[in-house]
Structure 1
Amino acid sequence: MNDLIKKFIPDFDDNLLVLEKETPNATPAPPEKYRVLLLNDDFTPMDFVVDVLTHFFHHSEDIAYDIMMKVHLEGSAICGVYTAEIAESKVAQVTEYARSHEHPLMCKLEKDES
């Protein structure tokens, strides 16, 4: 073998550890999902909550109204289920939007166990 080639090819001994390749049929585990929830407060107008649900979560007016009523009556409701990065982004966007309109609307995420 050429000395120049030997310089770039390491010498291996017979005690090599051979790792098996991952089989091409193996599918990776799906990413963990997180629920984004809106929390009730006594100050944020209901129509603002419906606006948030239609704008940020792309719900229809009817579905948004139903979710808003659940928040109002039960204290919280799920707006959507997303991967971690998207859920965190939704929480940040809703919180920033609410604060910019001077509303205390709270939005949080929790791990989806289903």
Structure 2
Amino acid sequence: MSQKIEPQLLSIEKAQRMAEFFSVLGDPNRWRILSALAIDEMRVRDLAAAVDMSESAVSHQLRALRTSRLVRYRKQGRNVFYGLKDHHILNLYREAAEHLDEPADEPADETDR
């Protein structure tokens, strides 16, 4: 293997971690939650109203997002506010949304796989 390529190639371990990380994002409800949290921190009840889901469903999704280090929480008195973990997650969300808004260069076909 070329010495120029080898340092840039993902290790098997990192590739596995990345696959696990992105698999968490395979749920559209999680993307909707991230989109709301990209705007501002929210309590579960406000987040549930924003994404039109039950509080228990939002809590379940937040647990998965927290485990994957996509969201964080902070307590303020009796309230718990959730937000995006850091600027990397905000950038990931924005880049994915922007990418999907771009027109396709040409229709996808069998050769694009």
TM over 0.5: no
TM-score normalised by the chain length of structure 1:
0.29
Of the two, which has the highest radius of gyration? 1
TM-score normalised by the chain length of structure 2:
0.29
More strand by share: 1
Higher relative contact order (CA 8 A, sep 6+): 1
